[in-house]
Amino acid sequence: MAQEIKRLDIDAYDEIIRVWAESGLPFKLKGRDSLEAVAKEMANPNCAFFGLFLDEKMIGVVIANFDGRRGWINRLAIDPDQRGLGLAAKLIEISEEFLRSAGAVVICALIEEINYPSISCFQNSGYTCEPNIKYFTKRPSPDA
Ligand SMILES: CC(C)(COP(=O)(O)OP(=O)(O)OC[C@H]1O[C@@H](n2cnc3c(N)ncnc32)[C@H](O)[C@@H]1OP(=O)(O)O)[C@@H](O)C(=O)NCCC(=O)NCCS
């Protein structure tokens, strides 16, 4: 099967949402995952969405963004029928290349503590868990 990773533009929005939905990844269509919000994020040169394609079908997605201090890998998802094949590592690798070229030295990901496949995947890609850190947020609404 032909495998390809492409940087995505806003024309891929519906496909990105499809992959996240089929992967069981939560998203906020009224908030930061709305068409407008994603278009704005994609226009930021320090942010890239990558899609992994098998025979031209998108089966994986990731967002890489450099906030000026750290590089972040977000919303990594692989189609449930294609898991356990090490495909997520390819999206992690291209994200790392992008983030390093943007200036990131430290690259991070936030993972729920019960998400064992994701934890394993990042550990296999060389990431170390920082178990003493708690994630705090402040949101204008639950949809944000
Ligand atoms: C996390 C995710 C992207 C990993 O993708 P992947 O390409 O399957 O990753 P890998 O092939 O490296 O497998 C990672 C782990 O998944 C588990 N796994 C293996 N085969 C699997 C399968 N068929 N189905 C589900 N999980 C499987 C294993 O624990 C594996 O770790 P191991 O190789 O050390 O045993 C994918 O499971 C996914 O899309 N999950 C839902 C969305 C999500 O939680 N994203 C991460 C947000 S932080």
Q: Is residue 107, in this structure, part of any structural domain at all?
A: yes
Mean pLDDT of 76-93: 98
Note whether residue 34 is domain-resident. Answer: yes
Q: Do the domain assignments include residue 132?
A: no
Atom 37 in ligand 1: residue holding the nearest Cα: 117
* Under 8 Å between Cβ of 65 and 46: yes
Q: Is residue 21 part of a domain?
A: yes
Out of 82, 83, 94, 112, mutate this one to test ligand 1's pocket (max ligand atoms within 8 Å of CB): namely 83
Q: Model's pTM, two decimal places?
A: 0.97
In which band, very low, low, confident or very high, does the pLDDT at 127 lie, cut at 50, 70 and 90? very high
Domain count, the chain: 1
Identify which of 17, 107, 121 to mutate to test ligand 1's pocket (most ligand atoms within 8 A of the CB): 121
Contact between residue 61 and residue 74 where contact means Cβ atoms under 8 Å apart: no
Let me know if residue 30 belongs to a domain: yes
Residue-level pLDDT at 144: 84
- Which CATH number does the domain housing residue 61 bear? 3.40.630.30
| Containing structural domain, residue 96 | 3-124
Q: Say if ligand 1 is within 6 A of residue 61 CB.
A: no
Is residue 143 situated within a structural domain?
Answer: no
What letters, b where the CB count within 10 A reaches 16 and e where it falls short, cover 122-141?
Answer: beebebeeeeeeeeeeeeee
Model confidence at 143, in pLDDT bands (50, 70, 90)? confident
The answer to whether position 131 is within a domain reads no
Q: Whose CA is nearest to atom 5 of ligand 1?
A: 88
